[in-house]
Amino acid sequence: KQEVTQIPAALSVPEGENLVLNCSFTDSAIYNLQWFRQDPGKGLTSLLLIQSSQREQTSGRLNASLDKSSGRSTLYIAASQPGDSATYLCAPEGAAGNKLTFGGGTRVLVKP
């Protein structure tokens, strides 16, 4: 059974600092891995998807890396802004392509 851990559980940084969010998973037989953002009371917004054959994916200030063999992914957010305050969730998709397994998320607060 896939288990996903996200560290830290919460993070508070001043505006402009770079953010590093960690995700580890126990079963390396994944099809892909997605990072999501969730604002309070809202659904999940997809940020980045990394295929299992890829090492990293970039979108604007966001960069996600994937080391499938060691069961790790890292989300980097450069030059953080108060609008980046949210909960960030990682979710590997099983090789059968039928289930995303989520970690508990990292709650980020960027102070102006």
Nearest Cα neighbor of 34 from 107, 109, 103, 110 is 103
DSSP-assigned letter for residue 53: T
Side chain identity at residue 2, one-letter code: Q
Binds another protein (CB under 8 A): choice among 64, 100, 108, 110: 100
Binds another protein (CB under 8 A): choice among 4, 19, 21, 64: 4
Site string for another protein, 35-74 (x = CB under 8 A): -x----xxxxxx--x-------------------------
Q: 24: buried, middle or exposed (CB in 10 Å: 19+, 13-18, 0-12)?
A: middle
User: Does residue 11 touch another protein according to CB under 8 A?
Assistant: no
The single residue listed with the structure tokens 């604007």 is 60
User: Does residue 111 touch another protein according to CB under 8 A?
Assistant: no
- Kindly list the residues in this chain that would bind another protein in the complex (CB under 8 A): 4, 6, 31-32, 34, 36, 41-46, 49, 89, 93, 97-105
